[in-house]
Amino acid sequence: MFFLLILLVRSTVGDDEKTCVKFEGTKAFQCLHTLHDISKNAGSIDFYKKEDSDKMNMMCEGFTVCAEYLKCKAEIKVVYYIDKIVSFCAATGFLSTDFKECNHKLYVQNSTCVQEWEPLPDPVEDPVEMAAIQKEACKNILGKESCVEKEIIENCNVELAVNFRKHFLALHRIIGACENL
């Protein structure tokens, strides 16, 4: 996949200097390498481990700077993929920085709502059972009757609740956990 991205970028970036800034060589390779690293590590990041989130945020910061260059004159599928990675980066940045203090407050409060909330349930072997479990998780994506969102408002503030909702739903769309979000 990494080499496919190199070919796509090589054939689409820098063709028209009037509308696109020429982007090739070392800079293009570094950007593609960062994209590859983010994609490779996205599924294993623990947002609440400082070293994991710091590493991902550093990669994302570098990628966000060069993402627009990669999108220039790229095919729609490539642009879509890059936009998904940029959204993922925004969500991980929010959860590991802006939301960190609020998350700690929710953790200390240890409410039933937060304890019972399971937005990404552990997989089970039976695909029919897993589909039912995932459907229920998606129905209660912000807790039963949106209790997690309500607790964020009560313990932190409305702005954090709005941003949490936005980034959390974006993450679920990116990983394909829930349809129609």
Whether residues 107 and 117 fall in one domain: yes
Side-chain-side CA neighbours of residue 125 (13 Å): 0
Q: Please tell me which residue, 77 or 176, carries the higher pLDDT value.
A: 77
117-143 residue pLDDT tens: 988 888 889 999 988 988 888 888 899
Share of the chain above pLDDT 70, in %: 88
Whether residues 94 and 104 fall in one domain: no
Which residues, 6 or more positions from 155, have their beta carbon under 8 angstroms from its beta carbon? 102, 105, 106, 109
Whether residues 87 and 110 fall in one domain: no
User: The domain containing residue 52 runs over which residues?
Assistant: 2-98
Whether residues 31 and 69 fall in one domain: yes
Whether residues 83 and 13 fall in one domain: yes
Task: Round the CA-based radius of gyration of the chain to a whole number and report it.
Answer: 19
CB 152 within 8 A of CB 102: yes
Residue 4 confidence (pLDDT): 43
Whether residues 61 and 144 fall in one domain: no
Q: How many domains does the chain have?
A: 2
Is residue 181 assigned to a domain?
no
Residue 42's nearest CA partner among 94, 88, 95, 102 is 88
**Alpha carbon distance 152, 150 (integer Å):** 5
* Domain finish residue from 30, 63, 98: 98
Residue 157 confidence (pLDDT): 96
